Amino acid sequence: MLLACGAVRGDFGRAGEENMGGIVCGSANQGGTAPAGGCERAHPLAGLYAALGHRVVSSLGATWIDVGRFSMTPVPYAGPVEATREDCEALLRQAGRWVAVFPTTIPTGITSGAYWVRDRDYGLSSLQKQFRQHVRRGMQSCAVRPLDWETLRKLGLGCNLETMQRRGVEGSLVTTQAGWDRVCEVAADVEGLEAFGCFHGDQLLAFLISWTHANVCEGLLLHRMRAGDQRRASHLLYYEFTRMMCQREALTGVTMGRHWLPPHRSIDQFKRHAGYQVEPIQVAAVLHPSLRGVLASPITRSALRQMRRWAGTRLAVLDNVLILDVAVATQLPHPPMAGR
């Protein structure tokens, strides 16, 4: 699900720890927001991701966030973005990144998938057998309930800090109490944002933040403490959150974002075993114009594939060869000529 050049696969850690669209929240920078072109109104989620430490640009009806050092991708994760190549290149120039990766309604790029549950009868029988066993184990000692933002502010820093440490994020404001206070303060003002927590007694072992908009609920991120692993807190939280959302009559579906590029088997398996179905979507990629001629060339891509076969998993950056392939396959419309 992590669609990016430079942080394509990120740190999922163990099953159940992630950002739902594959985005590693809390990058090492201190974040910041900017409307593309200086005129578009900020997206409702822009403030949240800026508080989480991301470089943020509001453009083309979405919040674009940095992923690792090289790329931008939009949130919410499953919604398509209508864009021309020129739109994407302007975004990359402004953000100082190499590649934009996004879902599109145009038949271009690569066929990928988004994870959905649309079954109002979702329950234990919807789960794969082993996942169901993990959920039942979690039920023996844990409970899931909605969280108000003040409670998450008081109890959530531990989950947030451990997750950031596993991802190698240090020195970011979001790892401090003041930074975490700011995240919860911003989230409290965003309509449709909700938090859910998995507790063992009074201890918060994991939390999930979601956003409901246009009759759809989308999981945005899940952070956890290692203390919850043996109690299967993440499995239980995933299940109970989905079950509660499916019971809301106003919602038409629940989504947990889209596939990683390149595919990440453990994440895909976790979501499928949790009862999520994969619905096909098209994903496009656009390279910065100053790099397109070099990075997208057949010679460069062939060399990178050879290096990847030689290096194996030692150089994760080489996983980005697939992103280059997607960029070559992406054909986007140009803006109409003036006066026509």
Whether the bond between 103 and the residue before it is cis, its omega within 30 degrees of 0, is no
Total domains in the fold of the chain? 2
Contact 168, 162 (CB under 8 A): no
User: Tell me: the pLDDT tens digits for 227-269?
Assistant: 999 999 999 999 999 999 999 999 999 999 998 877 788 999 9
Going by C-alpha positions, the residue among 62, 58, 64 that lies closest to residue 81 is: 62
Confidence category of residue 10, pLDDT binned at 50, 70, 90: very low
User: Tell me: the pLDDT tens digits for 309-334?
Assistant: 665 554 455 456 777 788 888 999 87
In whole angstroms, give the CA distance from residue 12 to residue 264.
9
Answer yes or no: do 237 and 140 share one domain.
Answer: yes
Answer yes or no: do 105 and 231 share one domain.
Answer: no
Strand partners, 35: 58
Answer yes or no: do 147 and 48 share one domain.
Answer: no
Answer yes or no: do 127 and 273 share one domain.
Answer: yes
Answer yes or no: do 226 and 239 share one domain.
Answer: yes
Structure-block tokens of residue 285: 């990629």
pTM: 0.84
Question: Is 334 within a domain?
Answer: no
In whole angstroms, give the CA distance from residue 281 to residue 72.
18
Answer yes or no: do 129 and 222 share one domain.
Answer: yes
Strands 71-75 and 99-104 turn out to be: parallel
Answer yes or no: do 198 and 232 share one domain.
Answer: yes
Cα-flanking dihedrals φ and ψ of residue 206, to 5°?
Answer: -160, 150
pLDDT of residue 293: 64
DSSP helix/strand/coil, 145: strand
DSSP state of 191: T
* Averaged pLDDT of the chain: 83
pLDDT of residue 333: 84
Contact 312, 137 (CB under 8 A): no
Domain of residue 124 covers 115-152+188-279
Answer yes or no: do 102 and 203 share one domain.
Answer: no
Q: What is the CATH number of the domain that holds 124?
A: 3.40.630.30
Other beta carbons less than 10 A from residue 248's beta carbon: 13
